[in-house]
Amino acid sequence: GGDDQAHDEEKGRSEDDNLDECVICMEKMDGESVELRCGHEYHENCVIKWKDQGGTRCPICRREMY
C-alpha cells in the first residue's frame, strides 16, 4: 500500500489551503466560522469587519466573497 501520508497536527511548514487559522486575524479557527463562495473559512466577526473596511474579495484567493 502507498497510503501512509504524514498528517502532522502540529504547526509545520505546510503551505496548505486547509489552514486552521483565520488569515484575517491570524487566530485559531474554532467556534463561529463562515465559508465564502471560494471555500475559504474565516471567523464570522472577521468577515464582518473585513467588509466594513471595504473588503469585497477573499483575502486568500481574491475571488468575490459573495
Please, how many CA atoms are within 13 Å of residue 38, restricted to the half-sphere of its CB?
A: 15
Tell me what pLDDT residue 34 has.
Answer: 93
Tell me if residue 46 falls in helix, strand or coil: helix
Tell me what pLDDT residue 18 has.
Answer: 55
Amino acid at 22: C
pLDDT one digit per residue (tens) for the chain, 66 residues? 666 655 545 544 445 555 689 999 999 998 889 999 999 999 999 999 999 999 999 999 999 987
Tell me what pLDDT residue 46 has.
Answer: 96
52 contacts 32 by C-beta, under 8 angstroms:
no
In the numeric block, the cell 471560494 is attached to 38
63 DSSP β-pair partners: none
